[in-house]
Amino acid sequence: MSGRAPLSVAAAVDRGVALACQGVLLACGTVLMATLTANVAARYVLDTGGFDWAEEVPEQLFPWFIMAGVVLAVQGGGHIAVEWLLGKLGRGARRVLLLAGHALVVAAYLAMAWQALVVADIVAIELSPALRLPKTYGYWAIAAGCALLALSTTTVAIRIALLGPEALPQPRPEEQPV
């Protein structure tokens, strides 16, 4: 198998994950903004002071919103990294260190995804007061996000393995700290 096939698969997976996360961000952001705007308007119009359920919508959607953004940040290299040691190593050693680090990160994300599902099962009987939704949705968001983070980290590792440390995603200049 040539190196092109795994790179093509990794690129396709990244595009699919990015599209899904962008969709989640758009949907959640729209619903959050509409709900909060409607609730602010309702405070001035209704004698009840707003909608009882409006504070539960962000509680249910915000974890999905955040996890989608975190996955996109990882795909774009917009995560926190200490690269002091990488600058002191040769190209081959950088590749080995990056691959070992990515393997550790993938394992950690998968463990976190599993634990989020365990906790979701525990809190499944708890319901939100107004919407009567189970408290599991936030934990499902964490589990799904961690699984997508593991997948995205794996695609980065594939690129590093085949192309070298230069394949590490770099954030755009406007996203870099000054």
Tell me the pLDDT tens digit for each residue of 111-164.
Answer: 999 999 999 999 888 888 888 888 888 899 999 999 999 999 999 999 999 999
User: Where do the structural domains in the chain lie, given as residue ranges?
Assistant: 4-171
Residue 1 has pLDDT above 60, yes or no: no
CA–CA separation, 88 vs 154, rounded Å?
Answer: 24
Instruction: Check residues 94 and 128 and name the one with the higher pLDDT.
Output: 94
- H, E, C per residue of 70-122: HHHHHHCCCCCCCCHHHHHCCHHHHHHHHHHHHHHHHHHHHHHHHHHHHHHHH
The span from the CA of 61 to the CA of 66, in Å, is 9
Instruction: List pLDDT tens digits, range 16-64.
Output: 999 999 999 999 999 999 999 999 998 888 887 788 888 889 889 999 9
Helix (H) or strand (E) holding 156: helix 136-163
Q: Are 160 and 168 in contact (CB under 8 A)?
A: yes
Per-residue model confidence (pLDDT) at position 161: 94
169 or 178, higher pLDDT: 169
Give the span between the Cα atoms of 57 and 137, in whole angstroms: 11
pLDDT score recorded for residue 177: 61
